[in-house]
A and B are shown apart, each in its own frame.
Chain A
Amino acid sequence: MSIELIIFLAMVVVFAGGCFLLKLPVSISMVLSSVVGALVGGQGIPLRHLVEGTFSYVDTILVIATAMIFMKVIQESGALDALSALIIEKFHKIPALLLCLIMLVIMFPGMITGSSTAAVLTAGSIMSPVLILMGVPMLETACIIAMGGILGMIAPPVNIPAMIIGGGIDIPYVGFEIPLAILTFPLAFLFVLMFGYKYAKKISYEEIAPKLNTEPREKFGFKVYIPIFAAIILMVVNKAVPQIPDLGMPLVFLISAVIGLFTGYKIDILKTCKEAINSVLPVLGILMGVGMFIQIMTLTGVRGLIVTSCISLPNLLLYVAMAISIPLFGAVSSYGAASVLGVPFLMAFLAKDQIITAAAISLIASLGDMMPPTALAGIFAAQVVGLKKYTDVLKRCIVPALILIAWAILIIVFSPQLAAILP
């Protein structure tokens, strides 16, 4: 047994023991596991490496924290209720179209930021009351939001994993739009109908009308929506006019949240911020723990062991290895999986069309955001609909995830033929 395998097993055992035996938080278990991994690997307690690893997710942590503050503000200001009532009122007669539109709305922030978290915490939280009012159960609503989030992150125009994978072999991010659209939009419509249509088709406006909270709309009128429009405009403006500096997602959310303080019900900002940060603190801790964990894996050679083991499978099994290893590694980070495994797998499939293959691998990498312990899309989707256990969301999304993988592999297999017919 190689030393790397021993280190890996020690890390897994300590992590599992911390979580399940000692009932420690996931983040603390990851810290312990990292320390043990370093000790077994003969590195002592490398404080610098442990701390450096946690810095991987500084930007993500800021996005999550500020997005949650924004979400709480628009919830408390009445904007969410107002928007839900408006959408249902306008589109209740055509439930299938309504569901597809809702899916596109959920995907939108992901499409322009490349982040499933942004999609789930913003548009997901806005659309969840609509879906629930339409009769879609909480669990299915969370599944729609989670899958919408990860498909939004992959859908064009912005797909960070594809950029990372392409950058690994110097493919510029050009010509990805159509392959990404083919990969994502059919799945998005399929999944939203799979999860929601059987409930939404029975929608009766007369029954749900009394449940709609129309008061914020009546009381504040159009201005209640301003923070939502502000967020959308600030996210889009730099993409449409690149000369305008990118404010960055955290600042976009904070500016929009500040606007929200003046457009609806009065809000106790201190209390709202505290609640928001409290609700995401465990996830932020996990992200830091994961950063530490992967730094130690890299330092000790465990990462190399995993990557070389994955790519050493026979050719036919490469598809299976990719389908399993990339989402599994995505438990650490979907971007990390795209970089560490996505690039070697793209090189293994060099005989295929590179752009389409990179796009399809990025789709598989997106599933990392549904993989525990990070499972950002799953955790936040459960949180925005008010579910206590996010694992139910993950279980329910297994079938869509398998469909997604099959679709991605199919596209890779037929990528030369597809490339020949694409403009």
Chain B
Amino acid sequence: MNKQIITASVCLLAALSVAGITGKNFMEVKKPDELRPGPGVTQTKMLSDYFPDIAGTNADSTVYVMEGEQPGGKMLVLGGTHANEPSGYLAAITFVESGKVEQGTVFVIPRTCNSGFTHNDPQEGSPQYYTIQTKGGPRQFRYGSRAANPLDQWPDPDVYVHAASGQRLSGSETRNINRTYPGRPDGTLTEKASYAVRQLIDTEGVNLTFDLHEASPEYPVINATVAHETAMSIASNGMFELQMAGIAMSLEPSPTNLHGLTHRELGDYTDTLPLLMETANASQGRLRGKTNADLVLTGKDKCYVKAQKLGFLYVPYDETGHPIEERVGRHLQGIYEYSKAYSAQYPESPIVYNGLPSYQELFLDADPSELGGTQLGKYLN
């Protein structure tokens, strides 16, 4: 046989083998993590129940409904807006698995951008999973991408024009759900997903909405709450309590010229009071060193320690990192204090729940050797 044909055949076979192995791996990550809802969950719905157009697509996502025995206000918790920001995802899951609502109703969407959990960003070297030892044994959780999967929405335009405002952003932001609010029923899949969230808020009459995020330590808005002007009084009262609990939190007003984000558009287009919280996540930062599941869970990173010394960061950073317990704890304590402030301000529709660990229990009182997943696992089923 011709030598060239043999060489070409060998190369083709090798390429097909690699494609087969990695293709199988790629398909496997589409399988959603198994969640183990606790007794607080009274029913589950789908986002498509509020906007049927997304049924059967990767934009559809489970909505956990937690109804209290007494009537009250309604609260929505958005986790997993960005699938590479695990504290928001895990805080939402902890709520679903350990929370119990007494008054009012809480809706929790752990995977707000479900499509973002089905892939990873090229060149980021991200882990596909991280493992946490829980009450029910070791559990794997997906680490995904900031944006929806290009297989669900492709190609990106050169420039993404936010439909409601005409704001222009780089083309890849077209797949970032937190740049597509208030969404469009006839838009891209990501715009449809954000429209479905808006429909949920309108249909259920959600009073208070939390969007849980993480930011790289060099990002100026970090360890912060961003509030729409309508939610500012609740945010300031809640923040006072957070600071009393030893949690340094800054309060930022939602910029009026930055569009597509929950804290701006949900406040402008619905009656809900939107708040967005950010914690420090090294695994999504530009300055990070070795990238793996340990970094995701512990936040320990020598590059960030160096960057802190150089004055490049907006959060304190030392060798102890920012473990997942601290980050999830900030979110849970934040939801608690802000919802308490809401209930105080709107006593006719209070939201009261229990069963969730405080920041103190989850982080401050924890055995340091158990930080990085084990301590959080005690509150997961």
Q: A220-254: contact bitstring with B at CB < 8 Å (1 yes, 0 no)? A: 00000000000000000011001000101110000
Q: Is A173 an interface residue (CB 8 A)?
A: yes
Q: Are B289 and A158 touching (Cβ within 8 A)?
A: no
Q: Is A55 an interface residue (CB 8 A)?
A: yes
Least CB distance, A45 to chain B, in whole angstroms? 10
A46 and B308 alpha carbons, distance in the complex (Å): 31
**Chain B hits for A291, CB < 8 A:** 122-123
Q: Is B290 an interface residue (CB 8 A)?
A: yes
Residues of A147-174 contacting chain B, CB below 8 A: 158, 160, 163-164, 167-170, 172-174
Contact of A344 among B161, B257, B306, B312 (CB under 8 A): B312
- Known interface pairs A158-B159, A169-B220, A296-B125. Does A51 touch B18 (Cβ–Cβ under 8 Å)? yes
Residues of B50-84 contacting chain A, CB below 8 A: none
Q: Is A308 an interface residue (CB 8 A)?
A: yes
Q: Are A172 and B258 touching (Cβ within 8 A)?
A: yes
Q: Is A29 an interface residue (CB 8 A)?
A: no
Q: Is A21 an interface residue (CB 8 A)?
A: no
Q: Are B307 and A295 touching (Cβ within 8 A)?
A: no
Q: Are B218 and A246 touching (Cβ within 8 A)?
A: no
A308 and B156 alpha carbons, distance in the complex (Å): 31
Q: B27-48: contact bitstring with A at CB < 8 Å (1 yes, 0 no)? A: 0000000000000000000000
Q: Are A295 and B170 touching (Cβ within 8 A)?
A: no
Q: B233-275: contact bitstring with A at CB < 8 Å (1 yes, 0 no)? A: 0000000000000000000000101110000000000000000
Contact of B170 among A51, A173, A304 (CB under 8 A): A173
**Chain B hits for A298, CB < 8 A:** 123-125, 291
A114 and B172 alpha carbons, distance in the complex (Å): 13
Contact of B22 among A48, A163, A305, A347 (CB under 8 A): A48
Q: Is B346 an interface residue (CB 8 A)?
A: no
Q: Is A77 an interface residue (CB 8 A)?
A: no
Q: From DSSP, what is the main secondary structure of chain A's interface residues?
A: helix
Q: Are A295 and B123 touching (Cβ within 8 A)?
A: yes
A239 and B18 alpha carbons, distance in the complex (Å): 40
Residues of A299-339 contacting chain B, CB below 8 A: 299-301, 304-305, 307-308, 311-312, 336, 339
Closest residue on chain B to residue A58 by CB atoms: B150
What interface size band does chain B fall in? 35 or more
Least CB distance, A250 to chain B, in whole angstroms? 8
- Known interface pairs A172-B167, A304-B287. Does A48 touch B128 (Cβ–Cβ under 8 Å)? yes
Q: Are B22 and A51 touching (Cβ within 8 A)?
A: yes
Q: B137-177: contact bitstring with A at CB < 8 Å (1 yes, 0 no)? A: 00000000000000000011111010000111111010000
Q: Are B169 and A305 touching (Cβ within 8 A)?
A: no
Q: Are B22 and A47 touching (Cβ within 8 A)?
A: yes
Q: Is B303 an interface residue (CB 8 A)?
A: yes
Q: Are A48 and B25 touching (Cβ within 8 A)?
A: yes
Q: How many CB-defined contacts (below 8 Å) exist between A and B?
A: 134
- Known interface pairs A47-B18, A56-B123, A295-B122. Does A248 touch B155 (Cβ–Cβ under 8 Å)? yes
A294 and B291 alpha carbons, distance in the complex (Å): 13
A164 and B120 alpha carbons, distance in the complex (Å): 19
Q: Is A113 an interface residue (CB 8 A)?
A: yes
Q: Is A369 an interface residue (CB 8 A)?
A: no
Least CB distance, B284 to chain A, in whole angstroms? 12
Closest residue on chain B to residue A293 by CB atoms: B123
**Chain A hits for B124, CB < 8 A:** 295, 298
Closest residue on chain A to residue B25 by CB atoms: A48
**Chain A hits for B19, CB < 8 A:** 51
Least CB distance, B189 to chain A, in whole angstroms? 14
Q: Is A53 an interface residue (CB 8 A)?
A: yes
A83 and B271 alpha carbons, distance in the complex (Å): 59
Q: Are B169 and A173 touching (Cβ within 8 A)?
A: yes
Q: Are A299 and B125 touching (Cβ within 8 A)?
A: yes
Q: Is A89 an interface residue (CB 8 A)?
A: no
Closest residue on chain B to residue A340 by CB atoms: B286
Closest residue on chain B to residue A54 by CB atoms: B122
Q: Are B291 and A299 touching (Cβ within 8 A)?
A: yes
- Known interface pairs A49-B125, A301-B303. Does A344 touch B218 (Cβ–Cβ under 8 Å)? yes
Closest residue on chain B to residue A298 by CB atoms: B125
**Chain A hits for B128, CB < 8 A:** 48
**Chain B hits for A114, CB < 8 A:** 158-159
Q: Is A275 an interface residue (CB 8 A)?
A: no
**Chain B hits for A4, CB < 8 A:** 289-290
Closest residue on chain B to residue A313 by CB atoms: B310
Q: Are B168 and A172 touching (Cβ within 8 A)?
A: yes
Least CB distance, A313 to chain B, in whole angstroms? 9
Q: Are A56 and B220 touching (Cβ within 8 A)?
A: no
Q: Are B170 and A307 touching (Cβ within 8 A)?
A: no
- Known interface pairs A48-B128, A51-B22, A344-B286. Does A170 touch B221 (Cβ–Cβ under 8 Å)? yes
Q: Residue among B25, B123, B168, B287 with the most chain A CB within 10 A?
A: B123
Q: Are B167 and A307 touching (Cβ within 8 A)?
A: no
**Chain A hits for B170, CB < 8 A:** 160, 163-164, 167, 173
A249 and B158 alpha carbons, distance in the complex (Å): 9
- Known interface pairs A4-B289, A299-B291, A301-B290. Does A246 touch B158 (Cβ–Cβ under 8 Å)? yes
Closest residue on chain B to residue A335 by CB atoms: B170
Q: Is B5 an interface residue (CB 8 A)?
A: no
A295 and B124 alpha carbons, distance in the complex (Å): 6
Q: Are B122 and A167 touching (Cβ within 8 A)?
A: no
Q: Is A215 an interface residue (CB 8 A)?
A: no
Q: Are A304 and B167 touching (Cβ within 8 A)?
A: no
**Chain B hits for A115, CB < 8 A:** 158
Q: Are A339 and B286 touching (Cβ within 8 A)?
A: yes
Closest residue on chain A to residue B22 by CB atoms: A51
Q: Are B287 and A308 touching (Cβ within 8 A)?
A: yes
A109 and B288 alpha carbons, distance in the complex (Å): 36
Q: Is B21 an interface residue (CB 8 A)?
A: yes
Q: Are A295 and B125 touching (Cβ within 8 A)?
A: yes
- Known interface pairs A174-B257, A347-B312. Does A59 touch B156 (Cβ–Cβ under 8 Å)? yes
A172 and B290 alpha carbons, distance in the complex (Å): 31
Known: A48-B22, A295-B122, A347-B312. 20 other contacts (CB 8 A): A47-B21, A47-B22, A47-B25, A51-B18, A53-B122, A54-B122, A114-B158, A114-B159, A163-B159, A163-B168, A164-B170, A170-B258, A172-B257, A172-B259, A298-B123, A300-B125, A304-B303, A307-B286, A312-B310, A343-B218
> What are 23 residue pairs bridging A and B, where the CB atoms are less than 8 Å apart in the complex?
A4-B289, A41-B290, A56-B122, A114-B159, A158-B158, A158-B159, A160-B170, A164-B170, A172-B257, A174-B257, A242-B166, A246-B158, A291-B122, A301-B289, A304-B290, A304-B301, A304-B303, A307-B287, A308-B303, A308-B306, A311-B287, A339-B286, A347-B312
B binding-site residues for A, Cβ under 8 Å: 18-19, 21-22, 25-26, 120, 122-125, 128, 155-159, 161, 166-171, 173, 218-221, 255, 257-259, 286-292, 301, 303, 306-307, 310, 312
